[in-house]
Amino acid sequence: MRGGDETSGSLFSYVDLEGRIPARHPLRKVRQVVNDALASLDAEFEALYTDFGRPSIAPERLIRASLIQILFSIRSERQLMEQMQYNLLFRWFVGLGIDDQVWVPTVFTKNRDRLLSTEMSRKVMAAILAHREVAPLLSDDHFSVDGTLVKAWASMKSFQPKAADAPPDDDPGSPPEPGTTAEDHPEITETDPMPRPSRQNRNAEVDFRGEKRSNATHASTTDPDARLYKKSPGTGATLCFIGHALMENRSGLIVQGDLTRADGHAERRAALDMVHRHSPGSTRRLTLGADKGYDAAEFVADLRQACVTPHVAQKSRYSAIDGRTTRHEGYALSIKHRKRIDIDQTWRLSRRKVGEASAVRRRQAVHVCGSRTSGSEIRNRGCVSPHQFDNPAAHFDRAVA
């Protein structure tokens, strides 16, 4: 018998959001660990807010919504709010009921930026790593480090020569300086025409051929912190930052992250900072795997002074790594496990638009766990459209299981 295609709206729904999410969905384990970590930070959240005024968006929901945006590669807060209107999985993970109103994108962004401008993002990461189900997965002795370029949210056309002196403030609406008379500031009546500054088309054609540009003489007008940089020969230099990640070698989970200005020493400086931040004052002999870009005598000496064995890939000439390190079996194991961090870097590069928009605009390093479960396996569990997933939440689910 053929079924009918008639649609009738239902006034009530008797199925809870909890019942609509598959029991073995990977986000269930992620949500459990995140909720436990956020509960341990309740006193920290309480200290950030006053006892009076209009209630803000709950910080726990802000962090869970930010995780959804990262895990599902949603490229803007406006699109995140739009998908939360109809995606029941997102509502369930964030903590919104099926009838709860979704926030205005600008309100969500303002609240989120105020929260993450503090050290709360690092505290949340530390609480997750210290969770009773996560801590056994982590190695305390063996790590790998790597960096990747994060393209700045700025056009090459904005990379213009630096001005010698800042232009004077000729705004007639500004208050007069002390000692000036009324004649120095003539009154502008309503009949005077509004001055129209001569400005070229915002997307005018620009020919850079033959022009020598460098960070010493030029700067971006839209993102002054961006630097013109390239990591490998034969590639074009772009306005960018450098994202850094520290991975533990047991399960391949990212335990530290950072975002810095792009220069030739940024990766090595960030590696030392992340090691000291993750294991402050450690007296144990740690190991740190890295690629040939970290094979520098000063960096190797700093690692040895910090009680860290440098398991850095050797350059073909003038390497700072000698037989004292390479003769041990652990060196070969570190070089082998180090390549797993490139998988995490590949995931971030394949989602470059999301990483650039969120990381660069907020100047916050994104800390996520790596990916092992395939996108097809996740999609077969339902609740997610095919174009949304190849996500790192699945790795966390499999590692804990």
C-beta separation of 322 from 112 below 8 A? no
Short-list 118, 144, 145, 139, CA closest to 269: 145
Provide the 3-class DSSP secondary structure of residue 239: strand
Alpha carbon distances (Å) from 53 to 49, 50, 56: 10, 8, 9
Give 272-324 as a DSSP string.
HHHHHHHSTT--S-EEEEE-GGG--HHHHHHHHHTTEEEEEPPPSSS-S--HH
pLDDT per residue, tens digit, the chain (401 aa), is 776 677 776 667 677 888 889 999 999 999 999 999 999 999 999 998 888 888 899 999 999 999 999 899 898 999 999 999 999 999 999 999 888 899 999 999 999 998 887 688 889 989 999 999 999 999 889 999 999 999 898 888 888 888 765 454 444 444 555 555 555 545 544 555 655 555 555 666 777 677 788 899 999 998 999 999 988 888 888 999 999 999 999 988 889 988 999 999 999 999 999 999 988 877 788 999 999 999 999 999 999 999 999 999 999 888 999 888 899 999 999 999 888 887 655 555 444 444 444 444 444 333 333 333 333 333 333 333 333 334 444 444 444 44
Instruction: For residue 396, tell me if it sits in a domain.
Output: yes
Distance (Å, rounded) from C-alpha 212 to C-alpha 229?
A: 14
Alpha carbon distances (Å) from 293 to 13, 246, 273, 339, 367: 58, 15, 17, 14, 23
- State whether 150 and 95 are in the same domain: no
- State whether 335 and 240 are in the same domain: yes
- State whether 114 and 244 are in the same domain: no
Instruction: For residue 222, tell me if it sits in a domain.
Output: yes
Instruction: For residue 83, tell me if it sits in a domain.
Output: yes
- State whether 258 and 118 are in the same domain: no
Instruction: For residue 88, tell me if it sits in a domain.
Output: yes
Specify the pairing of strand 227-229 against strand 286-290: unpaired
pLDDT the model gives residue 392: 41
Instruction: For residue 302, tell me if it sits in a domain.
Output: yes
- State whether 325 and 394 are in the same domain: no
Total number of domains in the chain: 2
- State whether 307 and 385 are in the same domain: no
The 10s digit of each residue's pLDDT in 294-351 is 999 999 999 999 999 999 999 988 899 988 889 999 999 999 988 888 765 555 544 4
The model carries a pTM of: 0.70
Distance (Å, rounded) from C-alpha 250 to C-alpha 397?
A: 16
Instruction: For residue 48, tell me if it sits in a domain.
Output: yes
Instruction: For residue 185, tell me if it sits in a domain.
Output: no
Instruction: For residue 1, tell me if it sits in a domain.
Output: no
- State whether 328 and 388 are in the same domain: no
- State whether 381 and 244 are in the same domain: no
Short-list 371, 369, 381, CA closest to 25: 381
pLDDT the model gives residue 304: 92
- State whether 338 and 366 are in the same domain: yes
- State whether 382 and 236 are in the same domain: no
Domain span holding position 357: 139-162+213-370
- State whether 320 and 380 are in the same domain: no
- State whether 103 and 155 are in the same domain: no
C-beta separation of 26 from 396 below 8 A? yes
What CATH number is given to the structural domain containing 358? 3.30.420
